[in-house]
Structure formats: C-alpha cells, structure tokens
Amino acid sequence: MQILRTPDSRFENLADYPFAPHYTTIQTEDGSELRIHHLDEGPADGPLVLCMHGQPVWSYLYRKVIPYLTAAGMRVIAPDLVGYGKSDKPAAREDYSYERQVEWMGAWLNANDFSNITFFGQDWGGLIGLRMIVNDADRFDRVVISNTGLPYNPDVPGSVVKEVENFRANAPTPSLAEMQKNISSMDSNGQPAQRFAYWQKWCWENEDMPIGFIMSMMMERPSKPMQVLKFLLHKLGVVSPLPSPLAKAYEAPFPDASYKMGPRAMPSQVPTLPTSPSLEEQRKAWGFFDAFNKPFLCAFADNDPVTRAMEPVFKKRVPGAQGQPHRTIKKGGHFVQENAPDQVAQAIIDLIRPS
C-alpha cells in the first residue's frame, strides 16, 4: 500500500488550533503501517468523549466544541480519519472502502484501550463510529449523533439503481452549482440516492477537489460580491481562491491533489444502494441497534437536507433513544460543530450529567 504523510509544516500557525498531536500506529491487512492522529484534551480522569468527524474535514472541525467540553470537566478525544488531517493518507481509491475505515479506526480504538466512552459522531464520523460501537460495544456507555446515518437500502428499485450507476459512470461531471442544487433538495420528493449521486460524482471527478473553498463557502458565507469573485476565480481554475484562515486550515492536510484520495473516494462508499458491498454488514449493524438499550441521543440540525430524514429512524428503532432529551440544533447546517458548537457541547454534557 502506498501511503502519503502530510508534512508537519502544513499545520503551522493554523487559526484557533493550539492542540498537541498524539499518534498511534496500526497495521493494515497487507502489513503496512498507518499512523493515525488524535487530539486528547481535558482532564485525564474526566468523562471521555470521543468526537469523530466526517468528509471532507478533520479534527480542526472540533476546535470550537472542545473548550466547552473541557470547561465542563470532560476529556475529549478527537481522531483524524485515515486519509484526513494529520493521519496518514493511502494513495489508491480502493484503499478507502467503508469496511477498511471501520477496521482501521477499530484497531486505533483498541490500541489506545479507551473505555467508558460517550460517542459523538457527525457525517462519516457517525457512519464509521456507529459500526465501531457494534464491534466494541463494551467500550461505549452512551451515544450522541448529529447529521449522520447508518444507511441500509436493500429495497431501492432496480430502475433507480441503474439510473444512479449510469449517471455516475457516464454523465458529464456536474458543476459546483448543479451539485449544490441537488444536495440541497435531498429531502424533497424522489429517491435521495439520485440526488446524492451528484455529490459522489462531483467529489470523485474533481481530482484537486477544492476542499478549503467549499468549506469556506458553506461556513463563512461571504458577501455577495466576494462570493461572485471567488466563484469566478474557481471557474478559472484557482483551487482555493482568496483563502480565509478557515479555508487554509481545511486545505492544509492536502499539499497537492495526490493527498485527496480519501475525500474524493469516500462519498462513493456510502451504501445508498442495494449493490453496496457493505449491505450485509449494515443489516447486521441495524440488528444490533434495534436492541441497543444504552442512552442514545439525536441532536440533528434543523436545516440539513442531507440527513434530515434519518433522525426519525433512529428515534423509532433504537430502544436507547426512547425518553431521551433529543434536541434540534438551531441553524446548525450540516457541520454543526462549526455553526453551533455551544449547542453541540451542551447536548453531550446534558446526557453525561443530566440536571
């Protein structure tokens, strides 16, 4: 396995990220060594909160949440998924299967021997983290999820499967505007797999995926004139036009396009169709959560069309979700950690230490 490692110099002088790095080395199936980075903040004897990020971000996403949790006496562990942040980055598309990410992060968890965990996961952090809970249930005491899911779709009509597969294989690469339009309407009528395919295809077919740019546009919402200027520069080929400190931070893990295989490949691994190689593992995972009695809290945003339909499924099916103080994150967007860190932290704190 070819593995890339981002130089430390890329992470110097990042805004609002004063945290010391911690590293764990695991072995892959072929004997390669993978170094996985995590943050470890707060009192060593405090209640342990494991915070997992998604795609295309890294533990920088938790820089605003961590101070709220540590001020409440919590110990916060925030890893970078393989392919992201300060963790190593395998160079091939096939390295980034859903099952490999679950395996790698499970090996990291066991190497660190964390226990009595309160889990928080969002986006891919939830997809991977929930599967880690299935595999190591005794290590986890309670669960908080936001804007994520555990996709299992065995009954998608064959006509839709063919449509999505044909689109991903043969359609022109969607523009940024086309992708955004379809993602923003995922919870409208129709099959969400058809709309999510725009994100899958856009990520994969943009070899130098403009991660810092799209994160800045989503989170900072610059003025109209600045938006127009940035989009114009992007259309002219500038990967990160006029980057803000936030844009620089989210682009930092990727010195060039070769480092971006994880963020590009992983959307295509979301098991939205019954043809997914993870279908059986997802079925087993839902069997586990259908009997999960530990506290299970939903804290989804009120304005995230990508995951809105998933929240009621967890509330209905997971026994541990019954009677919990579920809450709606107001104006959290998809990345609630950026837009509403105080609300996110309070949801976690209140589950660990109910008033």
What pLDDT is attached to residue 191?
74
Mean pLDDT of 288-302: 98
Residue with tokens 């127009």: 228
- Residue in 40, 351, 53, 19 with CA at minimum distance from that of residue 211: 53
pLDDT for 325 beyond 70 = yes
Catalytic residue chosen out of the listed positions 38, 80, 123, 234: 123
Query: Does 123 qualify as catalytic in the annotation?
Result: yes
Domain boundaries, the chain: 3-152+275-352, 158-269
pLDDT in tens, 79-122: 999 999 999 999 999 999 999 999 999 999 999 999 999 999 99
Poorest-confidence range of 123-132, 240-249, 259-268? 240-249
- Residue in 116, 121, 122 with CA at minimum distance from that of residue 44: 116
Could you tell me the pLDDT band of residue 170, with boundaries at 50, 70 and 90?
A: very high
SS3 301: strand
**DSSP-assigned letter for residue 167:** H
Mean pLDDT of 38-42: 98
Terminal CA-CA length for the chain: 50
CA distance 65 to 62: 5
Catalytic residue chosen out of the listed positions 38, 334, 342, 350: 334
The reply to whether omega before 56 is within 30° of 0 (cis) is: yes
Residues above pLDDT 90, as percent of the chain = 85
Query: Does 334 qualify as catalytic in the annotation?
Result: yes
Could you tell me the pLDDT band of residue 185, with boundaries at 50, 70 and 90?
A: confident
Amino acid found at 282: Q
What pLDDT is attached to residue 226?
84
E strands, the chain, in order = 3-4, 22-27, 33-41, 48-52, 75-79, 89-90, 117-122, 140-146, 296-298
Distances (CA, A) of 255 to 8, 84, 296, 337: 11, 12, 39, 25
Could you tell me the pLDDT band of residue 235, with boundaries at 50, 70 and 90?
A: confident
What pLDDT is attached to residue 291?
98
What pLDDT is attached to residue 355?
64
pLDDT for 242 beyond 90 = no
Give 199: exposed, middle or buried? Use CB within 10 Å, 0-12, 13-18, 19+: buried
What average pLDDT is seen over the chain?
Answer: 94
More reliable by pLDDT, 220 or 321: 321
Could you tell me the pLDDT band of residue 228, with boundaries at 50, 70 and 90?
A: confident
Query: Does 304 qualify as catalytic in the annotation?
Result: yes
What pLDDT is attached to residue 188?
65
Amino acid found at 272: T
Output the CA torsion 156→158→164→165 (10° steps): 130
- Give the other-Cβ count within 10 Å of 75's Cβ: 18
What pLDDT is attached to residue 157?
93
CA distance 120 to 133: 11
pLDDT for 51 beyond 80 = yes
Contact 144, 168 (CB under 8 A): no
User: How do strand 3-4 and strand 89-90 relate by DSSP bridges?
Assistant: antiparallel
**DSSP-assigned letter for residue 81:** P
pLDDT for 159 beyond 70 = yes
Contact 181, 199 (CB under 8 A): no
List the 48-52 sheet strands across, edge first.
22-27, 33-41, 75-79, 48-52, 117-122, 140-146, 296-298
Could you tell me the pLDDT band of residue 218, with boundaries at 50, 70 and 90?
A: confident
Mean pLDDT of 238-247: 89
**DSSP-assigned letter for residue 246:** H
pLDDT for 153 beyond 80 = yes
**DSSP-assigned letter for residue 287:** H
Contact 211, 246 (CB under 8 A): no
What pLDDT is attached to residue 292?
98
What pLDDT is attached to residue 186?
78
Mean pLDDT of 49-69: 98
Question: What superfamily in CATH does domain 3-152+275-352 come from?
Answer: Alpha/Beta hydrolase fold, catalytic domain (3.40.50.1820)
pLDDT for 202 beyond 90 = yes
pLDDT for 326 beyond 90 = yes
pLDDT for 187 beyond 80 = no
Catalytic residue chosen out of the listed positions 304, 326, 342, 350: 304
Residue with tokens 């079925």: 283
pLDDT for 350 beyond 90 = yes
CA distance 126 to 143: 10
pLDDT for 4 beyond 70 = yes
